Amino acid sequence: MESVFQLLFPEVRMMTMAMDRQLLIDEAKRLEEDLLWSMTSCFQIATWWRLLHWVIGVPSVVAAAITGLKAVKAGDPETIAMFAVASAILSALATFMNPSRSAREFHNAGVRCSALKGKLRRFWQIDATVEDPALRKTLEKLADEKSHLMETMPHTGGLAYWLAGRSIKKGQNKHQVDTTPG
C-alpha cells in the first residue's frame, strides 16, 4: 500500500522500489556465494574420493594377483599369507568406504549446487532488472530450494572447505565472460 507521500512524490516511490530490488539482489548474491562454496567443496571432495578409490583399488588388485601367482607357483607361504591379508584388508576397506559411491554422491551434489547457483545468478542479473512484484516470491522459492539442497546433500568437512577456498582464490570457478581484461 502506497503512502500519500509516495503518491504525491512518485520519485520517492521509484527510489523505494529500487532500494527494495537492491536488497533482493544483495540477498540473491549471498545465496549464490554460499552455493559457490558448497559446490566447490563438493567437487573438491569428490576428487579426493575418486583418488582414494584408485589408491585402495589398485593395490588391492595387485596384492590379489601376486597372491594368486605365488599360490600357483607354490611360493613362500609367509609371502602368500602377507599378500592375501593385504588384499583382504584393502578389499574390505574399498567395500566399507565405497569411495566410488561417495565420489558420485559429492559430484552430484556439486552439480545440483551449480544448477541452483546459475538460477540465482540469472535471477539477480536478468530477472531483477525489471520491476516485478513477484521478485520476492521468486527469491524465497530459490532460498527454499537452497535450504532443501543443503539438507539433502552429503556433509563436507574442514578439508573440503579448505580445498574450496584454495580453488576459489585461484579463480577456478570464474567464467571467462566475468573476468576483466588486463
Report residue 134: phi and psi, to 5°: -90, 5
State the Cα–Cα distance between residues 75 and 73, nearest whole angstrom: 5
How many other C-beta atoms lie within 10 A of the C-beta of residue 136? 14
Q: Predicted confidence band at 121 (pLDDT cuts at 50, 70, 90)?
A: very high
Alpha helices, DSSP H, located in the chain: 4-8, 10-72, 77-97, 99-125, 135-152, 158-169
The 10s digit of each residue's pLDDT in 1-32 is 555 655 565 554 554 556 688 999 999 999 99
Average pLDDT, the chain: 85
The 10s digit of each residue's pLDDT in 86-117 is 888 888 888 888 999 999 999 999 999 999 99
Q: Where are the domains of the chain?
A: 32-167
